[in-house]
Amino acid sequence: MGSTKTKVDFEYILNRYLPEDREKEEKRKISRSIIDKINKRLNEMGIDADSILVGSQSRGTELKNSDLDIFIRFSNDYSKEEIEKIGLNMGFEIIPDGMAKYAEHPYVSGKVNGIKVDIVPCYRVEMNNRIISSVDRTPLHTIYMQKAMSEEMKREAILLKLFMKRQGIYGSELKTSGFSGYVCELIILEFRSFQKFMEYVSCLKGNLTIGKENLTRRFNSPVVIIDPVDEQRNAAAAVNETNLSILKVASKFYVTEPSEFFFTYDEDISSDFRISKDSYIAILRFQKPDVIEDILAPQLELTRKSITNFSISKGFHCINSFTLLNSEKMDVLIELEEGKLNPFEKRMGPPAENSNSVSFINKYSRSGLRRRGPYVESGRIYFDIYRDETEFRKILTKNMDRLNFGHNINQLKQKMEIIDQWEKVRKQEIYIEYMKHARPVLPP
């Protein structure tokens, strides 16, 4: 392990988060048993396919209580429909009470002896050959990393994963847009140690790039890491600019004063936030439909942006907004300086010399909303007019049909709940998370 200015007990960290020998052996037995059963069944059916353990478990970079991922690799002679049907049938033979889940291919997920197992179909491909679906690369990642990583590098990669998890930037799913386990391993392959990477990224200006320039320059992303098993792919395409920035800031603090705090992701973060009602907070709640999170997450983000932009366009001052997606509900929180506008607004018209100036004056002179005007400022005509509505809740409800929240969430508008009574707001999970929300996560 690289040296640090303040002694960090890395052995304590690794012992705390690495699986014990008993867990490792149990998972080895389960994975071997599943693979043997699948391969025997495939052979009986005369199907050109085999199964393989993939993911961190197969590469020796897993944490405690990690899942088992078993992929069934099919010959390219089979159609997409065939591998999906066979894959699901095989999955349910192994896990009768499992669930069918859907990503690029449907797959079966469930528990075997209390351990979560995913059984996923894919195509068998060679290094840097054309893939048919994105999951086809996953077995190649396993094969490549098994050969490329030393035992010491595996431990360094685990430290990097823990650091990323503490910062909330671990995971490539859309709701996180962070660093996957595979990307953490590629980073360690490049820098050889966690400490060296921390020192590098703490001083980094601009994007994080790993790979030959003739390959990396093809991509326009905050983080570009060429996938060694497919050089046409940016393995870190999921990482957004916010999460790279969080990494930069957190690494600065770690390099300055390292501590075990940066790895203990499962500990609660002390958060002395002030419960107050100095502002107006509204929570928009939608019941979560039976749709995978990778589809809903970007729609929830679109909903947040649409509501934020709408509030600003109507004259409200937006302090911030926040989202929460869990197994039951989808929440959007918006915080405004005030939940009620002044009773009148300044309505700007055309320049005085414009041919439409007369019609603008006639329209508002005859309007019952007129408070003052017309008057001229800097060559334009203005009126002060009374608003027909001043409360955010009512303005939002009235204009709901005009806002785009994405296909699935648009269908939920009619059943949307608005929570803005202070005594209810302060008890909601999203409010507590919003007030505690600190990115990057730094020692107290």
Task: Give the model confidence (pLDDT) of 366-424 as tens digits.
Answer: 988 999 999 999 999 999 999 989 999 999 999 999 999 999 999 999 999 999 999 99
- Of 261, 6, 17, 28, the closest CA to residue 158 belongs to 17
**Are the folds of 280-340+390-436 and 344-386 the same?**
yes
Average model confidence (pLDDT) across the chain = 92
Q: Rounded to whole angstroms, how far apart are CA atoms 154 and 152?
A: 5
Average pLDDT over residues 143-165: 96
Q: Which residues share a beta bridge with 315?
A: none
Q: Rounded to whole angstroms, how far apart are CA atoms 317 and 337?
A: 6
Exposure string (b/e) for 264-296, b if CB count within 10 Å is 16 or more?
bbeeeeeeeeeeeeeebbbbbbbebeeeebeeb
- Of 226, 245, 246, the closest CA to residue 236 belongs to 226
Superfamily in which the 19-147 domain is placed by CATH: Beta Polymerase, domain 2 (3.30.460.10)
pLDDT-wise least confident of 163-177, 265-279, 340-354: 265-279
Strands 106-112 and 99-102: antiparallel
Cis peptide before 121 (omega within 30 of 0): no
Q: Rounded to whole angstroms, how far apart are CA atoms 343 and 387?
A: 6
Q: Is the pLDDT of residue 131 over 80?
A: no
Distances in whole angstroms, Cα of residue 414 to Cα of each of 84, 247, 281, 329: 36, 40, 21, 15
**Displacement of CA 381 from its chain's centroid (Å):** 47
277 versus 276: which is more confidently predicted?
277
Note the CATH architecture for domain 149-262.
Orthogonal Bundle (1.10)
Note the CATH architecture for domain 280-340+390-436.
2-Layer Sandwich (3.30)
What pTM was computed for the model? 0.82
- List the helix and strand counts (H, then E) for the chain: 16, 15
**Displacement of CA 116 from its chain's centroid (Å):** 22
Q: Rounded to whole angstroms, how far apart are CA atoms 46 and 38?
A: 12
pLDDT confidence tier of residue 126, bands split at 50, 70 and 90: confident
CB 423 within 8 A of CB 277: no
Longest dimension (CA), the chain: 88
Q: What angle do CA 175, 282, 320 make, to 5 degrees?
A: 60
Task: Please give the structure tokens belonging to residue 304.
Answer: 């947040």
Residues 6+ apart with CB under 8 A from 333: 281, 282, 283, 284, 321, 322, 323, 324, 430, 431, 434
Distances in whole angstroms, Cα of residue 128 to Cα of each of 229, 231, 411, 437: 5, 6, 42, 41
Q: Is the pLDDT of residue 36 over 70?
A: yes
Distance separating the N- and C-terminal Cα atoms of the chain: 25
Average pLDDT over residues 223-241: 94
**Displacement of CA 272 from its chain's centroid (Å):** 26
Q: Residue 6: what pLDDT? A: 56
Q: Is the pLDDT of residue 127 over 80?
A: no
Domain residue extents for the chain: 19-147, 149-262, 280-340+390-436, 344-386
Residue in this structure with the two tokens 């790279």, named with its chain if needed: 244
CB 291 within 8 A of CB 417: no
pLDDT digits (tens, 9 = 90+) for 285-311: 999 988 888 889 899 999 999 999 999
Q: Which residues share a beta bridge with 324?
A: 331
Q: Is the pLDDT of residue 143 over 70?
A: yes
Note the CATH architecture for domain 344-386.
2-Layer Sandwich (3.30)
Task: Please give the structure tokens belonging to residue 320.
Answer: 């911030």
